[in-house]
Structure 1
Amino acid sequence: MNRLQLISAICFLLFHAAAYSQSISADSLRHANSIPDKHVYPEVKGYIALVVPVYTFSSEGNAFNGEHSFVIGNPWGINIWKSKRFGFSFEFTPFLKIDNKENKVSNVLFHPGILYRLGHEYTFIARAAYETSGRYGFTPIINKVLIRTPHNTFYVAALLPVRFGNNHEPSVTPGIQFGIGF
């Protein structure tokens, strides 16, 4: 063992021992027990989900998802709650396109937004949308928590993506999302 490794190991052991050997006075215990259990913000939560676009409305032609190919997305995100009602969200969603010829990642969506809790387990989410396909737009979402446990939430969301750009006509594609928050 060279000198640098030895010094690093000694420093680690000293830091480790100091970190876990702090004493607590009876006065600090009395004070800690008197603090009310209060929710602290900001609060950071994560989630993972599956999203299925249902039907696309466009002047270029309307279509059900699955009519020619099936598209499903897998959103991954972080919600940063600044208060009981208001927060920010950052989401990435890869979309898989499945048809008779091939299965591939067809698009990745960057989907930042704002969160507003409406009450009764409902949340309104307004997202900007930037797709690797060259499309952009916005997505209003209504989210409903179905099951809440001490560590997770299981939810369903109705979304209405509106997209523009990349030499295509504007489109609206209602969809449904199922997910778990943690």
Structure 2
Amino acid sequence: LNSLRQNIGFVMQGSALFQGSILENLTFNKPISMIDVEAATRAACIHDFVTRLPNGYHTIIGEQGAQLSEGQKQRVALARVLLQNTPILILDEPTAALDNESEFYIQEAMKEICKQRTVVVIAHRLSTIRRADKIVVIDQGRIAEEGSHEVLMLQDGVYSMLQERAARI
């Protein structure tokens, strides 16, 4: 069980941040080089934002990251899990509470992150999973379909129906 935990990183919807600096929230005061911190924050598309803050990585973000938007909090949480350097990531609803701009940044981050490890994304927002290598559609607690976006759209099943509904909204 312990080796399993060491190999899997989680980013949950509404990931917890604590009172302290951005750097402390990223590293938990572990000895991690700034080169690694900056690489993780670049991959999570939050580095530029952080460096524009008056105190940069030493900016205090308040209880539960009160000084940050939901999108910024999600990207800090994503950078934090990247610093754990686990081969498997599980992202639970990574864009559920985000505006379109924040979702875009998370999507951009996902492009790079997915190149280096196995990523499992749990999502209701279809745009979050569109570029996945493999999509598994669960309907009423069972696997209904699986395949790439293109394959699932051709199957005229649950996934394509959901995509059509989303397009009408």
Bigger Rg, which one: 1
Structure-1-length-normalised TM-score: 0.23
Higher strand share: 1
Structure-2-length-normalised TM-score: 0.24
Higher helix share: 2
Higher relative contact order (CA 8 A, sep 6+): 2
